[in-house]
Amino acid sequence: MAQRLHLVFGGELVSPSKNVFKDVSNLHIVGMFPDYQSAFLAWKAEAQRTVDDAHMRYYIAHIHRLRDEGQAASPTEELGA
């Protein structure tokens, strides 16, 4: 069974109407979580903490969806890089 990893991160947006970060090098990485429930709780805490700033936005990235265990690994990955 594949591990279900979730990354919670956020930062200041260029505009509240766009999903474009003002400064990607200044993202707030909240953490990596083993299940959606714990990721959601972390996301909710950060979203509520920054609720008064319309330019701040937090997201949950489903890291486990980025990789399909059924497909062959890339040559780089097989080299251990």
CATH superfamily name and code, 6-78: Uncharacterised protein PF13773, DUF4170 (3.30.70.2400)
Cα distances from 8 to residues 44, 50, 53, 54, 75, in angstroms, run 10, 14, 18, 18, 29
pLDDT digits (tens, 9 = 90+) for 33-79: 999 999 999 999 999 999 999 999 999 999 887 766 666 655 555 54
The predicted pLDDT at position 81 comes to 47
Q: Where are the domains of the chain?
A: 6-78
The conformation of residue 29, written as its DSSP 8-state character, comes to: E
Q: What is the mean pLDDT of residues 7-27?
A: 95
Please report the pLDDT score of residue 47 as a whole number.
95
